[in-house]
Amino acid sequence: MNEFDREDRFSTGVYSRQSLQLIEGSGATVRDGDGNEYLDLTTGIGVAAVGHANGAVAEAVKDQAEKLLTCSPAYFYSDVRADLLEKLAEITPGNLSRSFLCNSGTEAIEASLKFARSHSGREEIIATMRGFHGRTLGSLSATWKRKYTKPFEPLIPGFNHVPYGNLEKLGEEISQDTAAVLIEPIQGEGGIHTPPEGYLAGVREICDEVGALLIFDEVQTGFGRTGEMFAGQHWNVTPDIMAIAKAMGGGVPIGASIVREDIEFSTGLHGSTFGGNPLSARAALATINYIEENDLVDLARERGEIFKRGLEEIASDNEKLVREVRGLGLMLALQLRKKSGPYLDKLMKKNILALPAGSSVIRFLPPLEISPGEIDRVLEALREVFASD
Ligand code: PLP
């Protein structure tokens, strides 16, 4: 049995993977067992924003592992957790300052939905078409794609979807029964869609008119990915609740639902055994400090502009194949007129790893420190792959 067969044989079959086993990495590079190197623009689906095997994260994890790995948030206080909670309040916009720590994006959404229903005393949640929020039942009920939701019906009642970017439809759907509007400021899995000008501010206004909470899902967009610490900041729109995860722990699983200063809950309302454990809290602190100390938010904006310009040139030279370039910062995509799978395979043969987002999109979520030279390598590989079509 080879290594691919072994992983398939003893796992559930829910994933279809590339035939590539990753052994180690550093920065934007990953290596397989034969020592072949790949430039990684997948980063574990937007996780390794600070690069693979980031020294600061590795050191923090090692140090904490030797001190204390677990300290239940339900029973004891933790110095490291307090540091992280304070840091999150400092870096999040507006008066978002109370965090519930968890272990993944979908848990951050679950917590956000529960908090919204509990705080508002209302039931209905409005999410958007093309939106993706995770695979547990609450998050799934907010997720749009039938492929993900159908096998698990009936979903949780009270969820409705409106077209992303359309304020009129939102205005028609929202009511005094709406607990919250849940939205990705930039849609990720749905194909990297940035909001039309004025859209997020309009959503904020509509929510305020009926007293509904606004939840931003910044799971994919957070921590500098788009050229702001959080994507909503591009448009100066602050939600009442924000869900984060992915890049937060530099690769160590952690997420959070962060609520407004004035929102507080009763004891026992929600909980998690592992949420905010000292190991992941230390990893997250090291990650955030690294992002700040190395100005990665500005860097993502600068490198994103270089990368996007290059993609736009390729798009205009390949109009028959590329419909458009989308995205912000280092959350970028090429919308093709054909299926993207074969092109992703060809890129992999050229040692470049990129992601799909739907069937005809090539998505790039590189580490924020990807160098101009590495961006050139990606652009060159794309040119060659498209020329050989
Ligand atoms: N929300 C968004 C916007 C995501 O992109 C994802 C994952 O891709 C999730 C939520 C779910 O995160 P997780 O896979 O960590 O549960």
CA distance 231 to 234: 6
Cβ–ligand 1 distance for 44 under 6 Å, the answer no
pLDDT (0 to 100) of residue 196: 98
Closest CA to 234 of 329, 168, 156, 146: 329
Nearest alpha carbon, ligand 1 atom 15: 105
Kindly list the domain boundaries of the chain, sorted by start residue: 3-53+295-387, 56-293
Three-class SS of residue 214? strand
Cβ–ligand 1 distance for 325 under 6 Å, the answer no
Nearest alpha carbon, ligand 1 atom 12: 105
In whole angstroms, how large is the CA radius of gyration of the chain? Answer: 21
Tell me, in angstroms, the distance from the centre of ligand 1 to residue 232's CA. 17
Tell me, in angstroms, the distance from the centre of ligand 1 to residue 367's CA. 17
Cβ–ligand 1 distance for 188 under 6 Å, the answer yes
Tell me, in angstroms, the distance from the centre of ligand 1 to residue 193's CA. 16
Q: In a structure prediction context, what are the per-residue pLDDT tens digits for the chain, which is 389 residues long?
A: 788 889 999 999 999 889 999 999 999 999 999 999 999 999 999 999 999 999 999 999 999 999 999 999 999 999 999 999 999 999 999 999 999 999 999 999 999 999 999 999 999 999 999 999 999 999 999 999 999 999 999 999 999 999 999 999 999 999 999 999 999 999 999 999 999 999 999 999 999 999 999 999 999 999 999 999 999 999 999 999 999 999 999 999 999 999 999 998 999 999 999 999 999 999 999 999 999 999 999 999 999 999 999 999 999 999 999 999 999 999 999 999 999 999 999 999 999 999 999 999 999 999 999 999 999 999 999 999 999 98
Q: Is it true that 3-53+295-387 and 56-293 share their CATH fold?
A: no
Q: Residues of 70-103 as b/e, b for ≥16 C-beta within 10 angstroms?
A: ebebeeeebebbeebbebbeebbbeebbbbbbbb
Tell me, in angstroms, the distance from the centre of ligand 1 to residue 134's CA. 5
| Domain spanning 56-293, CATH architecture | 3-Layer(aba) Sandwich (3.40)
pTM value > 0.95: yes
Superfamily of domain 3-53+295-387, CATH level 4 = Aspartate Aminotransferase, domain 1 (3.90.1150.10)
